[in-house]
Homo-oligomer: A and B are copies of this chain.
Amino acid sequence: MIHFADRLMTAIDQKGAPVCVGIDPVFDRLPAAIRDQTDQPTAAFQAWGLGLLEAVAAHTPAVKFQSACFERYGSGGAAVLESLINHAAALELIVILDAKRGDIGISAEHYAAGCLADPVDALTVNPYLGPDTLEPYAQTGKGVFVLVRTSNPGSDDLQTLPLMDGRTVGQTVATFVADLGISRLGVRGYSDIGAVVGATKPNEIAELRQRMPQQYFLVPGYGAQGGTADDVKPCFNADGYGALITASRSVIYAGADSSDWSAPIADAAAQLNRDIAAIL
């Protein structure tokens, strides 16, 4: 198995920009042309998702599936998620499952085995239960993105609290991530243990970049959540690598008012690619 970070970087080079399309479907926001065919959300997700993946595949190295959107519909939603993951992999997209799992002991092993089953390439995980709970995911040899700093307002109530040792809670988690990742570098110098760092906190990003120099940052919040190209520039190292900028709503709903909804989605993905390539 080729190291996750090396595979990701090759895919980024091939597509020309370090971007990721976030697939967070909400039934009411899908194209009318899809909703006219079915009132079953899972059936709509399946039809729309296949078209979406075809539309974005030329423009993005990676896609990120928001598990919550599918889990909302129980085991039927989980089955559609599996189907779309398989289709994304068949299109040679890097597949990130954004499920933010976290548990202790054997339960963490179960999540690692289930959520990182082939063809999923990487998983988002939650660090609250401690650094030992991150190891089962790392031991799969796949990609792991640990939640370090998120973009929601309430995240400041925990992640930026100062500890007695001078660090914040989030900076402490960054240290866990760097420590876990240091022994897991690919040939191009990046670890397969990465970090989730929200795009709306540019003032903190440079500091986190220093604490985690060999980590890939998965950066949500670009576009509809308010992050700009300038905001995300500090996420990158001087080599132009080290971050994967994710946009969701601005791409996936681009064609919602159009009967030919896939062409506007492809255009939006191409625009995302150009916007991020331009800052590097």
Residues of chain A touching chain B, judged by Cβ–Cβ distance below 8 Å, are 24, 26, 66, 68-69, 71-79, 81-82, 100-108, 110-111, 113-115, 117, 126-133, 147, 150-159, 161-165, 169, 172-173, 176
Alpha-carbon separation in the docked complex, A133 to B163 (Å):
22
Looking at the assembled complex, report how far the CB atom of A102 sits from the nearest CB atom of chain B, in whole angstroms: 6
Q: Other than A75-B79, A100-B126, A162-B164, give 6 A-B pairs with Cβ distance below 8 A.
A: A24-B107, A75-B81, A75-B82, A104-B155, A129-B147, A163-B164
Query: What is the count of identical protomers in the complex?
Result: 2
Alpha-carbon separation in the docked complex, A166 to B159 (Å):
16
Name the residue in A69, A82, A128, A163 with the highest tally of chain B Cβ atoms < 10 Å from its Cβ. A128
With a cutoff of 8 Å between Cβ atoms, the chain B residues found around residue A24 in the complex are 106-107
Alpha-carbon separation in the docked complex, A52 to B245 (Å):
47
A74 and B117 in contact, given A129-B154, A130-B152 (Cβ under 8 angstroms): yes
Alpha-carbon separation in the docked complex, A111 to B98 (Å):
13
* Closest residue on chain B to residue A113 by CB atoms: B72
With a cutoff of 8 Å between Cβ atoms, the chain B residues found around residue A78 in the complex are 74-75, 78
With a cutoff of 8 Å between Cβ atoms, the chain B residues found around residue A151 in the complex are 104
B164 contacts A107, CB within 8 Å? no
CB < 8 Å neighbour of A126 from B102, B114, B172, B176: B102
